[in-house]
């Protein structure tokens, strides 16, 4: 009979209890003992839920106060020397490294593979040494055992931890491997002493393009660790690992986990001739999305696998459930029909248990539950909202010319300049201005129904008027309306588009105590009516200077949402592109001459493997171009991207063919621009001239130095002047002070051209 387990559970709590406790602790309102008690309560609840559902193990080790990779860093005693915390960090040290101290900046944060979760980057030096800090894991193991659970311990694997670390110059990270393995070895041995039967080591880097020496490192590492402690389950996820099939089969492991949601095709490479003494764990329930599993389809796959594997078959979630919200039962406002198509983490436990019973006792034993699940899937399939004929027809009718401006940039540029008459080095901002308490209060009151729509509009218009006046006084050339009406750059548009819905408690951890509640794309997307035209035209009516219309792009709308899993992402992107294209066209018709389409996320969709990237970039660029190409030559299209490693996707960024791109550069001191210059990026660029992430007002000299750097590598008539993005998080005094200097810097530079 198959074993059912999960790779990990969301740790934040269904109502973000962990966030509440951690932030109270940071404020000094909850002491360490209180924080530990809150954590214990959450773990206890989550383990009990796994057990109640009927899973064979509860998973221990997936809890973290901030980040599970950082927990491993603490567990193996690899605190960077610059924090001076020594080899045995306590909780305060752990948080100091995560959040920074007055003397030391925090550890860097990076996106966990292709998810929106961010991990803390380990810092590796030639003299990094390791020491086992039992307190960072063993108490949890004992805690679970004391509660009478049968447990499987999960840890990031040594190679994934090393790979994700940032090495000091000249260091080959693999040089640290054998020291690290010593600590794993001791740890595994102690887990065995404690009676732990299974340890799951997560090695998602197997889904990346791995160099040969790293592949070889798997052979040596797992050869060494195999006998150390509990039986080892090596977990892969987020991609296809079949290129490593021979190597993985030869490792002396007790089991291997495969992600069959992302890469169902890889099963064939493993299931035949799978060694008799090994478990194969099949991740068939999606850990990345909140839809119900098609249990009938899953059972078809699993029956076949069971025939080949017998007792060696395990069933599981594709990856940790940390990427999905916790409990659908808390959603009381979702439309019941759509809610019935969903399964959050707790519901996914039940799905696994059901699959297990169907495999063990036959489908007849659970026919009622299977029937309920099948009707939900069938209902979703035939729901009118999931296949709107008009939307499908529009996408089907797309022609290459929809994704092409009428003329090349050089021609458009002349037409735009004739109309806009901008000075050299034109100044602008990225869109938002400080979101004051009054703005937030008005928005909340409007949502709660205590402020009626007309009063809300008056309040927002007053804010827009003041923002326009301030920009005119500052002497900025291209104005923005300030986005006071927007809670968030995706939710704001999602609320106005058909095909979107919103949860009340669908939180997932983004980093540390920060959680996001992504909107849900459940059906075909279309735009019932204009979304921003009224605000933008109002703002334009207040000034003779050009007012930028401000939209979120199709990729951002896609990647910052939970996306339907019954349609390829490309199709959803094209639907979004057409909806946003209509908005662009309407803005133009209403007299808006410059429209910015924010696209900070093009990199987020980038497939983990090189070979899959060109196909993705092609549709990503196509979606942007469809959005941007419905307008006349005279209308200037801007795009904006946040900090990013751009270098390898510059051709795609150029292919988006925005007339102007603004990018975040100041923190990297314009290094990014070299890449644009080397690539001879053809259109206009606005590199961020100052960092808005701190209230500190940069000096004229600093801005001038950055501008000089930009002027050194790019032609002056291609350059715009703007800050980095995110002014909504700042206060007005520093914003106005910094922008005053920015405008002065631009004027002084113009005089020298």
Determine which residue in the list 125, 247, 398, 642 makes contact with ligand GLN, applying CB under 6 A. 642
Query: CB 390 → Zn ion: shortest distance, Å?
Result: 33
Contact between 489 and ligand GLN per CB under 6 A = yes
For residues 432 and 726, the answer to whether their CB atoms sit within 8 Å is yes
Stretch that binds ligand GLN, among 54-62, 99-107, 417-425, 429-437 (CB under 6 A): 429-437
489 contact, one of Zn ion, ligand GLN, none, CB 5-8 Å limit per kind: ligand GLN
Window contacting ligand GLN (CB under 6 A); options: 314-322, 331-339, 426-434, 677-685:
426-434
Q: State the residue for tokens 């999606």.
A: 286
Q: Rule CB under 6 A: choose which of 35, 725, 742, 746 binds ligand GLN.
A: 725
Determine whether the annotation assigns residue 197 to a binding site: no
CB of 725 to Zn ion, least distance (A): 3
- What H or E segment, with its residue span, contains residue 283? strand 279-285
User: Could you give the count of Cα atoms lying within 13 Å of 278 in the half-sphere of its Cβ?
Assistant: 22
Question: Which window, 102-110, 267-275, 724-732, 738-746, contacts ligand GLN (CB under 6 A)?
Answer: 724-732
Nearest residue (CB) to ligand GLN, 373 versus 489:
489
| Cα–Cα separations (whole angstroms), residue 380 to 263, 291, 340, 343 | 23, 10, 9, 13
Under the binding rule (CB under 5 A), the answer on residue 7 touching Zn ion is no
- In the complex, what is the shortest distance from the CB of residue 561 to ligand GLN, in angstroms, rounded to a whole number? 15
Tokens of 380: 């979703």
Q: How far is the CB of 459 from Zn ion (least distance, A)?
A: 26
Q: Say whether 111 counts as a known binding-site residue.
A: yes
Touching ligand GLN, residues 539-558 (CB under 6 A): 550
Burial of 261 (0-12, 13-18, 19+ CB in 10 A): buried
Residue closer to ligand GLN, measured from CB, 24 or 743 = 743
Q: How far is the CB of 527 from Zn ion (least distance, A)?
A: 24
Q: Name the E strands within 17-71.
A: 58-60
Longest dimension (CA), the chain: 83
3-state SS, 95-146, equals: HHHHHCCCCCCCCCEEECCCCCCEEECCEECCCCCCCCCHHHCHHHHHHHHH
Active site annotation includes 693: yes
3-state secondary structure of 525: strand
24, 642, 697, 705: residue in contact with Zn ion (rule CB under 5 A): 642
**Residue 452, Cβ neighbours under 10 Å: how many?**
11
Say whether residue 725 binds Zn ion (CB under 5 A): yes
Q: How far apart are CA 175 and CA 156, in angstroms?
A: 19
- Phi, psi for residue 130 in degrees, rounded to 5: -120, 150
Sign of the four-CA dihedral 455, 460, 462, 465:
negative
Asked if residues 245 and 271 have their Cβ atoms less than 8 Å apart, the reply is no
Q: Is 529 annotated as a binding residue?
A: no
Name which of residues 220 to 279 contact Zn ion (CB under 5 A). Answer: none
- Strand ordering across the sheet containing 198-202: 3-5, 313-317, 279-285, 255-259, 231-235, 198-202, 151-156, 58-60
Distance of alpha carbon 503 from alpha carbon 329, whole angstroms: 11
Q: x/- contact string, 594-613, with Zn ion (CB under 5 A)?
A: ------x-------------
The residue from 5, 118, 638, 693 that is catalytic is 693
Query: 462, 485, 468, 467: which is closest to 543 by C-alpha?
Result: 468
Residue 229 binding: pick among ligand GLN, Zn ion, none (C-beta 5-8 Å cut-off by kind): none
Catalytic positions, written as ranges: 693
Tell me which residues touch Zn ion (CB under 5 A): 600, 642, 725
Residues forming the site for ligand GLN (CB under 6 A)? 430-432, 489, 550, 598, 600, 640, 642, 725-726, 728
| Residues annotated in a binding site for L-methionine | 430-432, 483, 598
Residues annotated within the binding site for Zn(2+) are 640, 642, 664, 725
Q: Indicate the annotated binding residues.
A: 16-19, 111, 116, 430-432, 483, 514-515, 560, 598, 604, 640, 642, 664, 725
């Amino acid at each position: 009979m198959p074993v059912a387990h999960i790779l990990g559970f969301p740790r934040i709590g269904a109502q973000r209890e962990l966030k509440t406790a951690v932030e109270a602790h940071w404020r000094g309102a909850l002491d360490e003992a209180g924080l530990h008690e809150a954590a214990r309560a959450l773990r206890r609840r989550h383990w009990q839920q796994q057990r109640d559902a009927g899973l064979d193990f509860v998973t221990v080790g997936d809890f973290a106060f901030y980040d599970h990779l950082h927990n491993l860093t603490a567990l193996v005693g690899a605190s960077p020397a610059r924090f001076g915390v020594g080899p045995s960090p306590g909780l305060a040290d752990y948080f100091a490294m995560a959040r920074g101290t007055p003397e030391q900046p925090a550890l860097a944060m990076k996106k966990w593979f292709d998810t929106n979760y961010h991990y803390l980057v380990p810092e590796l030096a030639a003299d990094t040494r390791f020491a086992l800090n039992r307190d960072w894991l063993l108490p949890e193991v004992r805690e679970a055992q004391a509660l009478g659970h049968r447990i499987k311990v999960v840890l990031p694997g040594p190679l994934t931890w090393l790979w994700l670390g940032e090495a000091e110059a000249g260091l080959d990270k693999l040089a640290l491997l054998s020291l690290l393995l010593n600590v794993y070895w001791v740890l595994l041995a102690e887990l065995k002493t404690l009676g732990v039967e299974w340890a799951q080591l997560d090695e998602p880097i197997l889904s990346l393009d791995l160099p040969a020496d790293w592949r070889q490192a798997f052979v040596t590492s797992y050869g060494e660790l195999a006998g150390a402690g509990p039986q080892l389950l090596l977990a892969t996820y987020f991609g296809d690992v079949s290129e490593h099939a021979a190597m993985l089969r030869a490792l002396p492991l007790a089991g291997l986990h495969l992600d069959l949601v992302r890469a169902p095709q890889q099963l064939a490479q493993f299931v035949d001739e799978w060694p008799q003494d090994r478990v194969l764990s099949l991740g068939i329930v999606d850990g990345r999305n909140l839809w119900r599993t098609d249990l009938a389809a899953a059972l078809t796959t699993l029956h076949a696998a069971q025939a080949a594997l017998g007792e060696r078959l395990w069933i599981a979630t594709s990856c940790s459930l940390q990427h999905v919200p916790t409990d659908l039962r808390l959603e009381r406002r979702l439309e019941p029909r759509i809610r019935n198509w969903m399964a959050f983490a707790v519901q996914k436990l039940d799905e696994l248990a059901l699959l297990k019973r169907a495999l063990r006792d036959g489908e007849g034993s659970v026919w009622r539950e299977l029937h309920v699940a099948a009707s939900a899937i069938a209902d979703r399939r035939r729901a009118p909202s999931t296949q709107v004929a008009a939307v499908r027809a529009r996408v089907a009718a797309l022609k290459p010319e929809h994704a092409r401006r009428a003329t090349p940039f050089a021609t458009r540029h002349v037409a735009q300049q004739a109309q806009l008459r901008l000075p050299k080095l034109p100044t602008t901002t990225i869109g938002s201005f400080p979101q004051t308490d009054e703005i937030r209060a008005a928005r909340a009151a409007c949502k709660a129904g205590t402020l009626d729509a007309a009063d809300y509009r008056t309040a927002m218009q007053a804010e827009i008027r003041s923002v326009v006046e301030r920009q005119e006084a500052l002497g900025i050339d291209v104005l923005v309306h300030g986005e006071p009406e927007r809670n968030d750059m995706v939710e704001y548009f999602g609320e106005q588009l058909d095909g979107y819905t919103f949860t009340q408690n669908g939180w997932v951890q983004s980093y540390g105590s920060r959680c996001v509640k992504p909107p849900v794309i459940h059906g075909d997307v279309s735009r019932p009516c204009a979304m921003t035209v009224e605000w933008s035209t109002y703002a334009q009516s207040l000034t003779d200077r050009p007012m930028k219309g401000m939209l979120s792009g199709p990729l951002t709308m896609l990647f910052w949402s939970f996306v339907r899993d019954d349609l390829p992402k490309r199709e959803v992107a094209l639907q979004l592109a057409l909806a946003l294209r209509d908005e662009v066209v309407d803005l133009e018709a209403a007299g808006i001459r410059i429209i910015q389409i924010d696209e900070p996320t093009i990199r987020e969709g980038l497939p983990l493997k090189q070979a899959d990237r060109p196909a993705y970039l092609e549709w990503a660029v196509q979606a942007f171009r469809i959005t941007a190409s419905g307008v006349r030559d005279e209308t200037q299209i801007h795009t904006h991207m946040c900090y990013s490693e751009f270098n390898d996707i510059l051709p795609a960024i150029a292919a988006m063919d925005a007339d102007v791109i603004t990018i975040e550069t100041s923190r990297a001191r314009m290094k990014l621009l070299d890449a644009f210059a080397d690539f001879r990026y053809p259109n206009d660029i606005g590199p961020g001239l100052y960092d808005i992430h701190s209230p500190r007002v940069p000096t004229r000299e600093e801005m001038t130095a950055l501008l000089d750097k930009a002027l050194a590598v790019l032609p002056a008539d291609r350059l715009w002047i703007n800050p980095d993005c995110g002014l909504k998080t700042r206060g007005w005094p520093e914003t106005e002070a910094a922008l005053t200097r920015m405008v002065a810097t631009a004027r002084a530079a113009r005089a020298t051209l």
